[in-house]
Amino acid sequence: MAKHDKVTRGQFRVHDDGVKECADCYKPPAVKMFVDDADRVRGITRTSFCADKPVGFSIGLMTYSSVRKQDVDVIRACSSHANYHVHHWHHLRVSETKVVEKYPLDSPDDVMRAYGSATANIYPRYEEWITEWSRKV
């Protein structure tokens, strides 16, 4: 499981009354695609919406590990616990190596800003993340 215990929880709640899901909440299936020409790096985006606005997301990359013989996590930006943060993994370790906290999410605007930031930084920079994941130690 991901380490979320260290992140600072923001004030943002999808619904003010504490309801988990309302009639306008919508969680489409994860969107999966290869982000590289060699079809080695898989991008997976999960977004939850309420009234057509993104209220939660997880945007990550996976790739095949020849050591573990399966697709494994490389990096994932997520909005759990009302906090925008990024999980990082290394090819020799099963559990994540670090969680980089960006900022707590206090408002719908913060969520939009974080969503934009994750979109601009995870898939487009996949070469950087793969290099980090596969570096020698």
Instruction: For the CB of residue 100, give the shortest distance to Zn ion in the complex, in Å.
Output: 10
**What is the separation, in whole angstroms, between the first and last Cα of the chain?**
24
* Cβ distance to Zn ion smaller for residue 27 or 40: 27
Instruction: Retrieve residue 39's tokens.
Output: 């079809």
Specify the residue, 36 or 102, whose C-beta has the smaller distance to Zn ion: 102
Which residues are near Zn ion by CB under 5 A? 2, 22, 24-25, 50, 78, 80
Q: Tell me whether residue 81 is exposed, middle or buried, using C-beta atoms within 10 angstroms of its C-beta: 0 to 12, 13 to 18, 19 or more.
A: middle
CB-nearer residue toward Zn ion: 35 or 50: 50
CA-nearest of 77, 67, 56 to 123 is 77
The CB-of-45 to Zn ion minimum distance in angstroms stands at 14
